Homo-oligomer: A and B are copies of this chain.
Amino acid sequence: MTYLQMSREELQKEYELQQKHFADCKAQNLKLNMARGKPGAAQLDLVSDILSCFVDPAECFTDGIDGRNYGELAGLPVARKYWADVLGCKPEQTFIGGASSLNLMFDIISRAFSHGLLHSPRPWSKEAVVKFLCPSPGYDRHFKVTEFFGAELITVPMTATGPDMDVVEDLVKDPLVKGIWCVPKYSNPDGIIYSEETINRFANLKPAAPDFTIMWDNAYCVHEFEGEYVPFPDIISLCEKAGNPDMVYEFASTSKITFPGAGFSVIATSEANIQYISGLFGVQTISYDKINQLRHVKYLKDKAHTLEIMKKHATVLGPKFGVVADMLDKEIAPCGFAQWNRPMGGYFVSLNTMHGTAKRALSLCKEAGVVMTSAGATFPYGNDPQDSNIRIAPSLPPVAELEKAMDVFCTCLKLAALEKLLEKN
């Protein structure tokens, strides 16, 4: 019997049962964290041999370049070739950054505001208002970057095949709409892979703004934890074919391949955009860390070998997502008040609980020592109008801890839902 089918008496009884269980949870004095997409220690152990793979100075020389010195703003040829292989574009269409792809995204948006992009009539800061599309639930750090520069964030609903393209196609008719945030594979947090149709509709957009920009964060491009690698189309050539060659900036990094925040990142975009941003980025730095480029290329080799490493990560990550799915199936599914996805890759499970109870559920979690991503974080301005979406990030805790954390989480979901139902009845 689901909660929605229960009588007040049955709800009251269930509430007392869950309260008792909650008290037991609290008594454990847990301190667990499912807030962020951080790999766990076991994953980091799997790739820690990267520390010892690049020790011979003779290997610093590639293509006649001494990687130990200044130079090569857009990255070493071997690094550009590596990312072109992974992303399915051309090396000339890549620009290699430092340890953070978020920083590359920030820099593109920051420069769009201060100087404008290739086809901008003027810097975005000189527009009366800049609107930015935020498919939601989405990634809070994306939204925050555009909010930081004063853009008006517009929520676009997510569907099972990606952002609602009818809505997107309609909104881009407004010349003040300057761009959109996308995570095309294993979207954060829904874990959805954009369908071929969605991707084609993106490439064929006809935005009113000449400098409309798709921020294509391919953060989880090779990040399957279950099943075989799922190929993805090259958005750069699709946009080119559609007559929108400079409309997309694609991003990726090794942060969830080797060490988070200590790898290397990439922008993939048209050669015209690469030339344009090289002019801008050349003011802020002489060149990015080429030693780490060399170290990573040596370690990761190419796409095929990278996929082998991702299989290893999957052996650690897969069981953790299994725990989440099993616990939700067992504890929450029968209660009938929540829905969630079953991703095959990425770092998150997105759950929609009873409207108006997400904040309360996570506040209860915190009380019992389990920290989750804040309710609302997956929406612009941290405000989920339905107070329903919760991002579960199960990658950090070991399985034994995760089971405890999920037990607490399920209990809190139930308690919050029961409180709501009892208050209504």
Contacts and interface: CB of A to CB of B under 8 A. Distances in A.
A259 B144 contact: no
Contact of A102 (B56, B141, B144, B284): B284
A354 B342 CA distance: 75
A356 interface: no
A276 interface: no
Contacts of A54: 51
Given A106-B283, A114-B110, A286-B100, A68 B55 contact: no
B55 A103 contact: no
Interface in A94-119: 98-100, 102-103, 106-107, 110, 113-115
Contacts of A261: 69-71, 285-290
Interface size class of A (residues with CB under 8 A): 35 or more
Contacts of A103: 284-285
Given A68-B259, A291-B259, A284 B44 contact: no
A70 B114 contact: no
Contact of A144 (B48, B60, B144, B283): B283
A390 to B, nearest CB: 21
A166 interface: no
Interface string A275-295: 000000001111111111000
A45 interface: yes
Interface stretch (A33-41, A304-312, A330-338, A401-409): A33-41
A17 to B, nearest CB: 38
Given A51-B57, A55-B55, A290-B261, A44 B68 contact: yes
A262 interface: yes
Given A283-B145, A287-B261, A66 B51 contact: no
A340 interface: no
Which of A55, A56, A106, A262 has the most chain B CB within a 10 Å cutoff? A262
B36 A70 contact: yes
Contacts of A149: 114
Contacts of A41: 66, 69
A125 interface: yes
A260 interface: yes
Contacts of A55: 51-52, 55
Given A102-B286, A103-B284, A261-B288, A66 B44 contact: yes
A291 B149 CA distance: 31
A41 B41 CA distance: 38
B259 A69 contact: yes
Given A141-B286, A262-B292, 15 more contacts: A36-B70, A51-B56, A55-B55, A69-B260, A69-B261, A100-B284, A100-B285, A110-B114, A110-B284, A144-B283, A145-B283, A259-B291, A261-B288, A262-B290, A289-B292
Across the A-B interface, give the 6 residue pairs with the lowest CB-CB distance, nearest first: A48-B57, A52-B55, A106-B284, A262-B291, A99-B289, A44-B68
